[in-house]
Amino acid sequence: MSLYVDRPSVIHRLDPLTKLCYIAAAVTVPFICPVKSVALLVAAVTYILLAAGRVVTKVLPLLGFVAPVLLSIFIIQGMFMPDNHALVFRIGPLYFYKEGLSYAALLSLRVIGILGAFSLLVLTTKPSDLIQALMEKGLPPEIGYVLNAVLQIIPQMANALQRITDAQRARGLETDGRLLDRIKAFFPLIGPVVMNAFVETKDRAMALEVRAFNSKTKRTFLHVRKKHPADVALRIMCLAAIILAVVWRLVG
Amino acid sequence: MSIIKAEALRYKYPMQDELALDHLSFSIDKGEFIGIIGENGAGKSTLCQALNGLVPHFHKGAYGGTVTVAGKTVHETSVGELSTIVGMVFENPVVQITGAKLTVYEEIAFGLENLGLPRSTIIERVDEAIELLNLAEVRDKSPFALSGGQMQRVAIAGMIAMRPEIMIFDEPTSQLDPQGATEVFEAIETLSRNGVTVLVVSHQMERLARHADRIMLMHGGRLVAFDTPERLFAMDFSGISVRRPVYTEIVRTVQKAGGISAETVPVTLEGAAEWLVKHRG
Amino acid sequence: MIVERKSHSTFDNKKDSHKEKGLETMKTSMWSFKLSTASLVLIPAAVGINYIGKMIAGFLKLPLWLDAIGTVLAAMIGGPVVGALSGAINNIIYGLTLDPISFAYAFTSLFLGLAVGAMAYKGWIENAGKALIVGLVAVLVASVVSTPINIIFWGGQTGNVWGDSLYAALIAHHFPVWLSSFLDEWVVDVPDKIITVFIGYLIFRGLPKTFLQQFDRQNHTDVL
């Protein structure tokens, strides 16, 4: 289970940590320099990189998720922001002001940019590669295990839920109808999934321990991650962007 | 030479009043194939876990006596360290899949990564385990997509790759169909032939009797008998239900009818047939 | 089960020494980061339960998210550290697999697990009345932590129609943004978090004692 899209691109070949550095820069810079032009610039760079990774169309559904919220921000800030003075237009009794719309535009550009930066990581990186990269940099192996295991357990549990739902419906469980009936139906559905998940934990813990899970030795990895020559340069550029933003803020 | 030695081993689970293991003393030689039998709750699983350190390190509770495996005292050695000496395969195939790996190949490598072995060693040992357990066909599949018997063989491969001298199987086939059970028993036999000391808890008496050098009978946390299958299945036990191999039961029925008492009984199909031919009339 | 034997020497077969040896391994703070394997494997289960809770709520068209039941349960069973880890990892995994925005709210989940775990450890889930108070604390924690995130990202909104209507009404009447945003989040969290904690409490009461025992912090090996 992941949003990863397998494509032959430079972005895919970059080290996951480089993409994390990019996220750090793309998130902090628009906040350090809270003006629309910077937010627009960062968003533009991000979407160019997404295009280079050949995944730009995969961001659209994610943007679709946030579109209603962004629209509501334009409406609410445009009409009700306390600083509103300059009327731009009105629709019947609804008055929209420049200050609020401008603020909404800044927020939207930031959100679109940040969403793009995270998408750049998750759409072009296998989760297992990201986790291994973090483990190599010192993430405790236990946490690395948990992250990997979650990615596998969710589809397993979704399957289990499907079986339980079918079985309970066959026994006549009310899953439509009045709210109270539907609330009552919650327990027979979640109960068995919870019990299954927990019953297995003790045995799984033992099975892990007999495979040296608690070993204090430094882990090695079956897979070797390839380094890309551009990685170091890109990380320096991300750092430089953040420093530049701080300087801009202090001077300006 | 003994590779496992228990002296007055006793153990109580947390919040339990009665002993789960009650003064067990025994010794097992390197390369032996040992069967462990007994009713549910007899202490078979607890004994297995007392050999690889899960008792007492994982379960806590109260512990006394000593067990040594390959020279290491179990209660003074961590489960991780013991894992390179004693391998363990559990009953439920699914819980032994770590869940952190995408392919069978990676799954088998998990323990070796934890041990911090060099990559070349990992690859060498995983390849060897895949070969030994006949898993080449599924090596790139998701471990969750396998049959129960295949999963159980992956679990064995994951343990074997850690090169333990002793392998313990705690009811490895009771959740499998007959085909899966055959696959797993064949794998166990292969290991035994390669010199690994093997302990198997199972209710499959015919299979145990055929392969085991000796069989342990447990009851109420105590070791009731520890002998060759031929001698153990010839004994009478009062108050303990012992299911014998069907071939043995046939011979014993004939013996009882004929008023014959014997110190040993045949435990295999061939043995029983031979005995019946010899005692014709 | 966070107890770790400090060295093999704590294990001693002499009966008279076992009392102080036992005591040495007994006191471990609920904030210990040394997690047992049993506690660690609780975390993937917790995240899975969160996901399943959300799916069922959607499937039954309940007007709630119910997407933190696993975090709450893990906190009740394993304590604040396991709760916090379950919460944070939940949002990181959601961010990686479903919705990148979820990363931002990792802090909310983290503090939710932390608060419920700490209260559970202090005995606040002994009965339904106390569990309700834990629910109220959960609402407070979730609202307080989410509000700055909402302000930074969305100018203070939550994306929930009812909450955002309240927010619009409040800022139109010149209430400060932080208060409007807090109340926006608060009205959304009140039913969801109280019910989530209460469902967690009901499931927790139904868990077998033998299961819960393995997470008992006072757990150590005695000498027979």
Summarised one tens digit per residue, pLDDT across range B34-73 is: 999 999 999 999 999 999 999 999 998 999 999 999 999 9
- B233 close to B209: Cβ distance less than 8 angstroms: yes
Confidence of residue A141 (pLDDT cuts 50, 70, 90): very high
Q: What is the residue extent of each domain of chain C?
A: 35-153+189-213
Domain that holds residue B259: 244-281
- Worst-scoring range by mean pLDDT, A42-46, B1-5, B110-114, C4-8? C4-8
B74-94 pLDDT, tens digit per residue, is 999 999 999 999 999 999 999
Question: Does one domain contain both B162 and B268?
Answer: no
Does the pLDDT of residue B224 top 80, yes or no?
Answer: yes
* Shortest Cα–Cα distance, A209 to chain C (Å): 7
Give CA separation, B88 vs A159, A200, A208, in Å.
29, 17, 11
Distances (CA, A) of A164 to A172, A183, B47: 12, 17, 36
Identify whether residues B62 and B163 lie together within a single domain. Answer: yes
Residue entry with tokens 């009797």: B209
- Is residue C187 a contact partner of residue C148, using CB atoms and an 8 Å limit? no
| Mean pLDDT calculated for residue range B227-250 | 94
Please indicate, yes or no, whether residues B65 and B129 belong to a single structural domain of this protein: yes
| A180 touches C at CB < 8 Å | no
Chain A CA closest to residue B92 = A203
User: Which chains does A contact via 3+ CB–CB distances below 8 A?
Assistant: B, C
> How many Å lie between the alpha carbon of A93 and the closest alpha carbon of chain B?
58
List chains adjacent to chain B, taking adjacency as at least 3 C-beta pairs closer than 8 Å. Answer: A, C
Give the pair of three-digit tokens for residue A45: 């760079």
Q: pTM, whole model, 2 decimals?
A: 0.90
Q: Cβ distance A153 to B99 under 8 Å?
A: yes
Mean pLDDT of C164-188: 95
Q: Do C174 and A127 touch (CB under 8 A)?
A: no
pLDDT for position C28 = 61
Please check whether residue B87 touches A, CB under 8 A: yes
Cis peptide before B56 (omega within 30 of 0): yes
Nearest by CB to residue A122, choosing from C55, C59, C100, is C100
Residue pair A9/A225 in contact by the 8 Å Cβ criterion:
no
Q: Which of A76, A185, A209 sits opposite C167 (nearest CB)?
A: A76
Q: Are residues B261 and B142 in the same domain?
A: no
Lowest pLDDT segment from A96-105, C8-17, C169-178: C8-17
- CATH number of the domain to which B94 belongs: 3.40.50.300
Cross-chain CB nearest to A1 (options C97, C174, C203): C97
Return the pLDDT at C1: 35
Sign of the Cα torsion A205, A206, A211, A212 reads positive
For the four alpha carbons of A236, A237, A240 and A246, in that order, the dihedral sign comes to: negative
- Local confidence band at C219 (pLDDT 50, 70, 90 cut-offs): low
Q: Two tokens at B157?
A: 């491969």
Nearest C-alpha in B relative to A154: B99
Q: Which residue has the tokens 């998408």?
A: A119
Same domain assignment for residues B121 and B108: yes
Confidence at C83, pLDDT banded by 50, 70, 90:
very high
pLDDT at A95 (0 to 100)? 94
CA distance B202 to B185: 11
* pLDDT band per the 50, 70, 90 thresholds, residue A200: confident
Q: What pLDDT shows up at residue C217?
A: 59
Judge whether B113 and B126 are in contact, CB under 8 Å: no
B54 lies in the same domain as B150: yes
Which residue of B lies nearest to C4 if distances are taken between CA atoms? B57
Same domain, B30 and B55: yes
Asked which of A112-126, B99-113, C200-214 is least confident by mean pLDDT, the reply is: C200-214
As a whole-number percent, the residues of chain B with pLDDT over 90 amount to 93
Number of domains in chain B: 2
The CATH number of domain C35-153+189-213, selected from 1.10.1060, 1.10.10, 1.10.1760, 1.25.40:
1.10.1760
Q: How far is B64 from chain C (nearest CA, A)?
A: 5
Burial of A242 (0-12, 13-18, 19+ CB in 10 A): middle
Is A154 touching C (CB cutoff 8 A)? yes
C62 touches chain A (CB under 8 A): yes
Measured between CB atoms, which of C35, C51, C159 is closest to A154?
C51
Which residues are bridge partners to B4 per DSSP?
B28, B69
Residues of C in contact with A68 (CB under 8 A): 159
Same domain (yes/no): B157, B264:
no
Inter-chain contact A208–B98, Cβ cutoff 8 Å?
A: yes
Contact residues, chain A, for C52 at CB < 8 Å: 157-158, 161, 190, 193
| CB within 8 Å: C38 and A205 | yes
Q: Looking at the structure, tell me whether residues B118 and B189 fall in a common domain.
A: yes
Does one domain contain both B171 and B281? no
> Would you call A94 an interface residue with chain C, using a CB distance cutoff of 8 Å?
no
